[in-house]
Amino acid sequence: MGKKLIQVERLSKKFKDQVALKDISFSVHAGEIFGFLGPSGSGKTTTIKILTGQLAQSSGRAFVLNNAVEQIDESIYEQIGIVTDNSGLYDRLTVYNNLVAFAKLLNVDKKRIDFLLKRVGLFEHKNKMAKNLSKGMKQRLILSRAMLHQPKVLFLDEPTSGLDPVTTEAIHALLLELKENGTAIFLTTHNMEEATKLCDSVALLNDGLIVEHDTPKALTLKYNQDKRYQVLLKNEKEVNVAHSAESIQQINHWLLNDELLTIHSCEPNLEQVFLEVTGRELV
């Protein structure tokens, strides 16, 4: 595993008498995509705000690139990318000039602007003013800006919400490239498919508390108590069988007689894991 680029130790946040984060701890390494999953109001954005120095924690410690978050050094921002809802785009600048402005600040070669605009499908819109972009286009521009300087740490607050499947796919490919190049990615999402596909590890957050933290695979296996198999037979019959000595014999029989077309184990997806752990849906 790469170096620890984000480290969070027993972090808590209170807003007056409301506890938004309760003693959470985790770390994210270089080349890791960490998924922070939880229903609305569970504390995801609050965590990102604390980790990016926009909000002070009530207790506990957090470090980004070895910098304590309550006193983030200005120079660290050059190595961090942030995508949240408070976009900070220049409304009256074009798509292209928004990125030029950041490229200058961050000393990035302008060639990368064209590369990214093509990758997120904004190249043909590069001369439109930011304020005239659609929601999804704005989101893509904010993402391009956050990736412009190939940051060491990237914070993404629901980066693909509201995007179409093709654009989402393009963004996923870009994120995986950044990961391959050693970026640590902190991602919040409601989209369980996205989390399963992208994340090396996920933390499930419920009411400010991390209730599970593991790889998506380990979590789905852990909660696969009631082992079942979905079988499709050549006679087009579909059967769902529980794992037992008897059913294994039956499956064996189908296999030997060449009657079986497909067979799948039915481990739960992350959504079902979340429901089982918290009794709540991930919405």
Ligand X SMILES: Nc1ncnc2c1ncn2[C@@H]1O[C@H](COP(=O)(O)OP(=O)(O)OP(=O)(O)O)[C@@H](O)[C@H]1O
Q: How many Cβ atoms from other residues are within 10 Å of residue 102's Cβ?
A: 19
Check binding of 20 to ligand X (CB under 6 A).
yes
Question: Which span (37-45, 104-112, 196-204, 222-230) binds Mg ion, by CB under 5 A?
Answer: 37-45
Binding mask 24-53 for ligand X (x = CB under 6 A): --------------x-xxxxxxx-------
Which CB, 85 or 259, lies closer to ligand X?
85
The binder of 46, among ligand X, Mg ion, none, by C-beta within 5 to 8 A per type, is: ligand X
Q: Would you call 279 helix, strand, or coil by DSSP?
A: coil
With contacts defined by CB under 5 A, how many residues of the chain interact with Mg ion? 2
Which CB, 44 or 145, lies closer to Mg ion?
44
Contact with ligand X (CB under 6 A): which of 15, 68, 70, 244?
A: 15
Which CB, 2 or 41, lies closer to Mg ion?
41
Handedness of CA 60, 63, 66, 70 (dihedral sign): negative
Rounded distance between C-alpha atoms, residue 27 and residue 53, angstroms: 17
Which CB, 54 or 150, lies closer to Mg ion?
54
**211: nearest Cα among 17, 70, 39:** 39
**235: nearest Cα among 219, 249, 254:** 254
Which CB, 45 or 278, lies closer to Mg ion?
45
The CA-atom distances, in angstroms, between 93 and each of 106, 127, 276 are 18, 9, 48
Distance from the first to the final alpha carbon of the chain? 32
Cβ at position 203, least distance to ligand X in Å: 12
Q: Which two tokens stand for residue 79?
A: 């190595």
The residues that touch Mg ion, with contacts defined as CB under 5 A, are 44-45
Contact residues: ligand X, CB under 6 A = 15, 20, 38, 40-46
